[in-house]
Structure 1
Amino acid sequence: MSAGGSGRFARLRQTLLGRRYWQRYRFTRHNEVELLRSGDEFFDALIGRIDAAEHDVALETYIFCDDDAGQAVSGALLRAAARGVRVRVITDGVGTARLKMFEQWPAGGIEHRIYNPHLFGRFGFSRTHRKLAVIDDQFAFCGGINIVDDYENNGEKLPYRRWDFALELRGPVVADVRYAIDVQWRRIHVGHRPLESMKPDLSPHDAYSLGSLRRRRRRRNEALWAAGEPCVAFVARDNLINRRAIEKAYLAAIGQARHEILLANPYFMPGRKLRRALVFAARRGVVVKLIIGRKEFRALDYAVPFLYNALLRAGVQIAEYEKTLLHGKVAVVDSNWGTVGSSNLDALSLMLNNEANAVLVNDPAIARLRDAILDAFADARPIDEAHYESRPARVRALSWIAYTSYRVAMKLLTVGGYD
């Protein structure tokens, strides 16, 4: 290997051994958190921060639509670029169409990269499903809200705005969000191969150092949580190192639950570990309330109820939300742990897609999130166990077929990873 190649090797190894990349997630204190409900609050906050930006704006989203919301955000990005601010945008190659407005961006100074432009590209089947933004390294946004009109869904008008959330973050956690976007920006340019080629070459000493670092980080996280101080962690899921980071964050919180678990998700098709964790929690006396989204994908409307049987028998309370489109991916445990992000609880989000959630512990914003989930549960249709058991044979058969088909498809896409 040449001297230059050896130097690049050493620098990349140091990157891999760096504090943020190898950790699954870290909690930090002294952050400020604002819970934003729906696009109304989110777009006002995001556009306001972009309009005040002085140095740098980075945005990553699964969907960017050419509608009123998209045009408003695009206008703010163009204004920032015209002031000399560096503006970078990442969109997904399947989630976002090739929009006319994108043609204006290069001339207006906006840098734009597309993650995995084709259905099966160099990143396989994975999508970037994250909804992130960082402005001037001072403000970060993380949540489930795409750049799309709150009252539109696939050309249809919604009766009420989407049920969804985002967080505006200030403080040390912003650096972790910025790092994740920067890694994604470079990844789109160079692909996975340089990073993957490094993994087999790590020495036993390196592996020991990484294990020790993770153990120290885990102990520090647990100490912060136990101390009762407000803290925040940014949890990003990818297909290199942090493959199960978000799932493990959920499992850790559910496993420690003592009183209450509130969970809302539009696509509830988790693997066995997460389902068992909810069942065990309910059996040990924890109140578990699960809100399921409906009427976006018909196949899932048939497949998801197949999972209700074991949950209902354990005492989990399930309700299906049909008032409007439930798009929020949120949870609260024991009123002192909460998460808001982009990750659905299904195979695509937990095993394939790039996702990002923020985890809050002992933060005042958790109380508002808890109230919102409980209000939605009251507005949703409860699933009665007796009524569920009396479903016609035809409905049961359709549910089994839909679930089995989903399971087989996900097994293939995840190369057996989905359980």
Structure 2
Amino acid sequence: MNFHWRDGNRIELLENGEEFYPRVYEVIRQAREEVLLETFILFEDKVGHALRDALIEAASRGVRIDVTVDGYGSADLTPEFVTPMTDVGIRIHIFDPRERLLGRRINLFRRLHRKIVVVDGEIAFIGGINFSADHLGDFGPGAKQDYAIQIEGPVVHDIHRFALTTIAPADPSRRWWRRRMRRQQADSYIGVNKGEARALFVVRDNDQHQNDIEQHYLQVIRDARSRLLIANAYFFPGYRVLREIRNAARRGVRVRMILQGQPDMPIAKFGARMLYNYLMRDGVEVHEYCRRPLHGKVALADYEWATVGSSNLDPLSLSLNLECNVMIRDHAFNKHLHERLDYLLQTDCRRIPLERIVRGYWWRAPLAFICFHIIRRFPRWAGMLPAHSPKITVLEPSTSDRIDSGTPPFPREHS
């Protein structure tokens, strides 16, 4: 499936769960025909219950609803939570459910890491925010800083078309979408203009789009002429991305990075810090966000381009997981995202001085070299392991099993 730049979109930035969740619930409650939702994490907390209530209310009005969650990220959903949804006709799809080994989840790689909501094929949400209470400020010190976007306009057609491909093979009643797509090919699709933004939906998979998100980053970094601002939670890209970031700083682009200073996973901070010297010695500014864990995956270049999505700049996102981003060309959106990120820089970030990184570099450099090349090659090594084809399982109504059981009543599966 190929995607193209679409003109005439309206795109709104949503920051953290406080802005994201109420908007999603409102749009679901206004749904007329269909809700498609994909998420890595759905927890049984106040956010998960609020989402469930909105979905059940819509399904009770006859809205067709498909929810897809990842079998690793959402492994602990219980029958008490799921059954009220399946009983009103909501189809719940589990991406690659696996049995636990000694009580631990082992299906770590090739995860469904996307976060997509599409309502009536007209409004879409894309970003990095899961459905869990740790994206709300009242969660405490562990509350995540994150971003998503609400989209209206022609690019929603591409997102909707793509979201259907995830569930159609597991649901025979969805085969109508193939006929619809033949009648309404994306290349000739003309949607109703909603705004001024130009947008492109980009995915990363383990088939035909293995490097698409990384390639867009590389091209934009090469083309940057005045400013580049990247806020990324788990930053450990390959050498090509690092080289282009450094080269941008060398040619006079002001390059600023916002990375984790208060990480939810300490290894993320350790890995990123191994790269600081390589970047900073050529003028890249590195800032660590210290108020709470950073979970965002956003960037902007110059005064028009920006991206928001689910993809980190690390080996898992760039080489193994299923991800999606939206690339945006719009001066107003770029300006607003820059204002929000600049606010973080001014209020809750500390800039890392080069002198601090240089001290002790003589003994850290060999360790950084070894670790960098091990982590950089990890996705390739993981891909060499005996691999199974991830499957999607459809939960039946009134199931009494846990999602992570991997046993019946989950009879319908597709690769």
Judged with a 3 Å threshold, the aligned counterparts in structure 2 of structure 1 residues 49 and 363 are, in CA distance, closer, same or farther, namely farther
Judged with a 3 Å threshold, the aligned counterparts in structure 2 of structure 1 residues 186 and 69 are, in CA distance, closer, same or farther, namely same
Residue of structure 2 in register with 1:276 after alignment: 243
8 Å contact kept, 2:34–2:63: yes
Look up the SS of the partner of 1:29 in the other structure: strand
Distance 2:89 2:132 in 1: 22
Judged with a 3 Å threshold, the aligned counterparts in structure 2 of structure 1 residues 396 and 321 are, in CA distance, closer, same or farther, namely farther
Residue of structure 2 in register with 1:232 after alignment: 199
Residue of structure 2 in register with 1:205 after alignment: none
Deviations 1:50-77 (A, max 9, x none): 0000100000000001111111011100
Q: Is 1:368 equivalent to 2:347 in the alignment?
A: no
Deviations 1:149-189 (A, max 9, x none): 14579xx9433852111111111111111111111123667
Distance 1:400 1:188 in 2: 45
Amino acid at match of 2:40: Y
Residue of structure 2 in register with 1:33 after alignment: 11
Aligned pairs for 1:89-104 (under 5 A) are 89-100=67-78, 101-104=81-84
Aligned pairs for 1:339-350 (under 5 A) are 339-350=307-318
Aligned pairs for 1:163-202 (under 5 A) are 163-186=145-168
Distance 1:352 1:160 in 2: 26
Query: Could you tell me how far 1:363 is from its partner in structure 2?
Result: 4.4
Deviations 1:97-147 (A, max 9, x none): 2312112221121101111113899x9931110000100111000011100
8 Å contact kept, 2:8–2:153: yes
Query: Could you tell me how far 1:297 is from its partner in structure 2?
Result: 1.6
Query: Could you tell me how far 1:313 is from its partner in structure 2?
Result: 1.2
Amino acid at match of 1:178: H
Q: Is 1:110 equivalent to 2:93 in the alignment?
A: no
8 Å contact kept, 2:320–2:379: no
Look up the SS of the partner of 2:240 in the other structure: helix
Judged with a 3 Å threshold, the aligned counterparts in structure 2 of structure 1 residues 274 and 401 are, in CA distance, closer, same or farther, namely closer
Look up the SS of the partner of 2:87 in the other structure: helix
Residue of structure 2 in register with 1:409 after alignment: 378
8 Å contact kept, 1:304–1:399: no
Judged with a 3 Å threshold, the aligned counterparts in structure 2 of structure 1 residues 302 and 37 are, in CA distance, closer, same or farther, namely same
Quick one: higher RCO (CA 8 Å, sep 6+), 1 or 2?
2
Q: Percent identity?
A: 35
Which blocks of at least 5 consecutive residues in structure 1 are unaligned? 1-20, 191-215, 218-228
Residue of structure 2 in register with 1:140 after alignment: 124
8 Å contact kept, 2:319–2:379: no
8 Å contact kept, 2:254–2:284: yes
Residue of structure 2 in register with 1:66 after alignment: 44
Judged with a 3 Å threshold, the aligned counterparts in structure 2 of structure 1 residues 161 and 91 are, in CA distance, closer, same or farther, namely same
Query: Could you tell me how far 1:252 is from its partner in structure 2?
Result: 1.5
Deviates more, 1:99-108 or 1:328-337: 99-108
Residue of structure 2 in register with 1:200 after alignment: none
Distance 1:62 1:291 in 2: 23
8 Å contact kept, 2:125–2:148: yes
Residue of structure 2 in register with 1:263 after alignment: 230
8 Å contact kept, 1:255–1:277: yes
Look up the SS of the partner of 2:126 in the other structure: strand
Residue of structure 2 in register with 1:311 after alignment: 279
Q: TM-score, normalised by structure 2?
A: 0.79
Q: TM-score, normalised by structure 1?
A: 0.79
Distance 1:352 1:326 in 2: 21
Deviations 1:352-375 (A, max 9, x none): 111011111024222111111112
Look up the SS of the partner of 1:320 in the other structure: strand
Residue of structure 1 in register with 2:397 after alignment: none
Judged with a 3 Å threshold, the aligned counterparts in structure 2 of structure 1 residues 406 and 152 are, in CA distance, closer, same or farther, namely farther
Q: Is 1:390 equivalent to 2:359 in the alignment?
A: yes
Query: Could you tell me how far 1:237 is from its partner in structure 2?
Result: 1.3
Amino acid at match of 1:33: I
**Greater percentage in helix:** 1
Judged with a 3 Å threshold, the aligned counterparts in structure 2 of structure 1 residues 366 and 160 are, in CA distance, closer, same or farther, namely farther
Distance 1:107 1:144 in 2: 29
Deviates more, 1:366-375 or 1:294-303: 294-303
Query: Could you tell me how far 1:321 is from its partner in structure 2?
Result: 1.2
8 Å contact kept, 2:10–2:153: yes
8 Å contact kept, 1:158–1:325: no
Distance 2:90 2:149 in 1: 24
Residue of structure 1 in register with 2:32 after alignment: 54
Amino acid at match of 2:317: S
Which blocks of at least 5 consecutive residues in structure 2 are unaligned? 173-186, 189-195, 386-415
8 Å contact kept, 2:75–2:97: no
Deviations 1:72-104 (A, max 9, x none): 011100111111100000000001123121122
Judged with a 3 Å threshold, the aligned counterparts in structure 2 of structure 1 residues 414 and 278 are, in CA distance, closer, same or farther, namely farther
8 Å contact kept, 1:231–1:363: no
8 Å contact kept, 2:315–2:375: no
Distance 1:359 1:404 in 2: 29
Count of residue correspondences: 355
Deviations 1:229-263 (A, max 9, x none): 63111111111111111111111111110000000
8 Å contact kept, 1:351–1:414: no
